[in-house]
């Protein structure tokens, strides 16, 4: 779940503070880290990404 949820952020250039996540996504050819957490705005997500994040968060609580 952790990778799936964070991939949505990664696709928008989120720069991860978590070293493991950062290293994982740096291994993806499509990942282009451009926005740190202080500048990142969740409003960038489209309706499908928002819904997927909600579903993944709900599944993560089980």
How do residues 18-31 score in pLDDT, each as one tens digit? 999 999 999 999 99
What are the residue ranges spanned by the domains of the chain? 2-60
What is this structure's pTM? Answer: 0.91
Distance CA 59, CA 25 (A): 22
State yes or no: pLDDT of 62 exceeds 70: no
């Amino acid at each position: 779940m952790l990778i799936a949820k964070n991939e949505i952020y990664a696709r928008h250039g989120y720069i991860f503070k978590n070293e493991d996540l950062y290293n994982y996504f740096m291994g993806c050819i499509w990942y282009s880290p451009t926005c740190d957490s202080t500048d990142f705005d969740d409003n960038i997500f489209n309706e499908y990404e928002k819904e997927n994040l909600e579903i993944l968060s709900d599944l993560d609580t089980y």
